Structure 1
């Protein structure tokens, strides 16, 4: 599978973060738009499989097809740039600033949302025959998901908000691990295998992904879900974005960087010790 050592792929992570900071506005938005759209299609695909089979694991096993496609095509998710871009600043790459990081994050957020919303409208048309009938069974399920993961959290108050935030953290711990997975191999098959595993885990466990939610919740509102845009923003999207940022940067970006780039001082072996690895 042409596996790269951690010190090699973490350097690739920093390089990627640097390139994204300096990317043109046009390219950043186009790549983010396509990433949001493809991931939204994968979410619709996974929900359809789950409804038709009655088996959530089946949907989770197949959902990563969208994630793998978008990363193989070089598109960008907000969850990924949360992890990669700060590393270029922390590594003191020339010209990389926190202002550049925030610019990238803002553009990717807008592009991801536009792409996911486009697919939300298209799929809502399909589920309702152009809004001429009640949503089909898949559309009804999407509306139910939207209710449970907005007003469902709100019913628990602060405890619900904490649960939502932690689910966001755990989500991007896994999703960013998938982003790194795309860098650990130089073969397509190796990249896909490394990406597939953590993405399947996050989806099956019901963790909160800000871009998947950019599809599910606007769709839910259009398909008759009993929650509002404000419910979506306050009781899902905003806390999820914050949780995704913490999870990706703290548990993936900074941990890999701190131990594979800024390594600690090596322990000296006592005189007479022999290590077969040396």
Structure 2
């Protein structure tokens, strides 16, 4: 059958996490680089559609095309490995250690960042004709996004930081649901449908995705956004990464594992005595 039952899905999640931990450095970096690059192209595409149509919902509907492409090709995002690799450790798979999980996270972060920066430079060149003219309308919009989602949070102090963190949590709740969706079906169409819906939700709601931001904010700096690298790191990337980790692991990885692998003890059936029949009562 195309649909994978929840118990089997949970086992596939653990197997996937284990495989990523033991993947070679070379393959981990290549797959992460391509994932960061493809997702960044999808983000550029979605912003372009939103600006040119004036309808952000259309950009959100179309953005998941990049996410689906990269996961169908077997590439890895940091948000996905945040959810999957710890499960292999929790399940005590042979040879899996915490340092192996951290190694995977570090390599995927570096690969995603390099892929996103590559696309950021390429798109900045396109938006400015090789930095010879002012950014076009799309480039200006990207710069504005960078300002609003860095110094915009900073203006609210601790409340802004909390809002940023929660947006990171909610983002990877949805994104990791999409990652798990890729394992939920054995057909391409089933995988795409299961991935598409939660990714559309996260993008339209403006939740904070650490890899998308690796494209948007460096690109915004290149295109004249009025914020600094320190603003980007302190008031977006670092809290977003932490929020993404908490959201994906807590609301997707651990919940699926807890209820479909380490299930609770079943309750004993409570058998009530049969009610007396009307005939017996009248006797």
Q: For the superposition of Structure 1 and Structure 2, which TM-score range results when normalised by the shorter chain? A: over 0.9
Equivalent residue number for residue 135 of structure 2: 135
Query: 2: CA distance between counterparts of 1:49 and 1:14?
Result: 37
CA distance in 2, matches of 1:270, 1:212: 52
Aligned to 2:95: 95
Offset at residue 99 of structure 1 (A): 0.3
Q: Is 1:209–2:212 an aligned residue pair?
A: no
Q: In structure 1, what is the Cα distance between the partners aligned to 2:202 and 2:85?
A: 22
User: Residues 75-126 of structure 1, C-alpha deviation per residue, up to 9 Å, x if partnerless?
Assistant: 0000000000000000000000110000000000000000000000000000
User: Which residue is equivalent to 1:241?
Assistant: 241
Which position in structure 2 is the counterpart of 1:78? Answer: 78
Q: Does 1:66 align with 2:58?
A: no
Number of residue pairs matched? 273
Partner of 1:252: 252
Tell me how far 1:257 sits from its aligned partner.
0.2
Q: Which has the larger radius of gyration?
A: 2
How far has the Cα of 1:271 moved from its partner?
3.4
TM-score by length of 2: 0.95
Question: What residue is the counterpart of 1:167 in the other structure?
Answer: 167
Where structure 2 has 5 or more consecutive residues not aligned to the other structure, the ranges are 274-283
The answer as to 2:42 corresponding to 1:42 is yes
Match in the other structure for 1:2: 2
2:157 paired residue number: 157
Deviation at 1:268, TM superposition (A): 1.6
Inter-partner Cα distance in structure 2 for 1:24 and 1:174: 28
- The alignment partner of 1:160 has SS state of helix
Q: Distance in 1 between matches of 2:96 and 2:251?
A: 22
Q: Distance in 2 between matches of 1:266 and 1:53?
A: 54
RMSD: 0.9
Q: CA deviation at 1:269?
A: 1.3
Query: What's 1:276 paired with?
Result: none
SS of 2:225's equivalent in the other structure is coil
Counterpart in 2 of 1:53? 53
How many Å apart are 1:272 and its aligned residue?
6.8
Distance (whole Å) between structure 1 residues aligned to residue 112 and residue 21 of structure 2: 17
Distance 1:178 1:10 in 2: 14
The residue correspondences of 1:261-272 to structure 2 (distance < 5 A) are 261-271=261-271
Could you tell me how far 1:214 is from its partner in structure 2? 0.2
Whole-Å separation in 1 of the counterparts to 2:4 and 2:118: 37
Aligned position for 1:111: 111
What TM-score do you get using the length of structure 1 for normalisation? 0.97
Q: Does 1:183 align with 2:183?
A: yes
4+ residue segments displaced more than 6 Å = none
Distance 1:41 1:83 in 2: 23
Alpha-carbon distance between aligned partners in 2 of 1:271 and 1:247, rounded to the nearest angstrom: 41
Task: State the secondary structure of the residue aligned to 1:225.
Answer: coil
SS of 1:226 mapped into structure 2 = coil
- In structure 1, list runs of 5 or more residues that go unmatched: 274-278
SS in 2 for 1:221: helix
